[in-house]
Amino acid sequence: MAETLITGNTLVESKIKLDIKSTQDSADYDFTLSDLTTDGAWRSLDISNIVPNNTEWIILNVNLKDDAPSSSIQFNGTGLTNRNRLSIQSQVANVSKEAQGWVKIGSSRLLYYLADSLTFTNINIKITGYV
């Protein structure tokens, strides 16, 4: 993905080319609240039917709503670490919150998530692209 020319200790040129692919052009979500376990533990979703082998990053659109403020869901694709995470948190009760971001995934094509409220009104997840 990156082309870099280094002379001695000097970076001469760096070009990054991303070939972003779109997923199916459907209005349907890939996952909804009924697909998730929201008990505050890390869980995983298999996304191998959505993105091909060798996918390194996905673009997520997430919408959540809860009847309480400060409920959140976090996503991580490379194991249970604090790196390369996308988080979204409700700020006001009964008001939808939306986020979009990149999540790095591993070769297993599992998307890890942690949702910390047993009373979410809805969570909608759409993978809109990948690299």
Do the beta carbons of residue 81 and residue 75 sit within 8 Å? no
**Residue 93 three-state SS:** coil
Of the candidates 120, 116, 60, the residue with the CA atom closest to the CA atom of residue 85: 60
Whole-number Å distance between alpha carbons of 72 and 52: 28
Instruction: Return per-residue pLDDT of the chain as tens, 131 residues.
Output: 445 444 444 544 555 556 667 776 667 899 999 999 999 999 999 999 999 999 999 999 999 999 999 999 999 987 766 667 899 999 899 999 999 999 999 899 999 999 999 889 999 999 998 88
First to last CA, the chain: 10
Whole-number Å distance between alpha carbons of 131 and 129: 7
DSSP state string for 52-65? -TT--EEEEEEEEE
Helix count and strand count (H, E) for the chain: 0, 11
pLDDT of the residue at 17: 55
Give Cα 100 distance to the centre of its chain: 8
Of the candidates 48, 44, 68, the residue with the CA atom closest to the CA atom of residue 58: 48
Residues in the chain, total: 131
CATH architecture of 20-130: Sandwich (2.60)
Instruction: Name the amino acid, one letter, at 74.
Output: Q
pLDDT of the residue at 77: 84
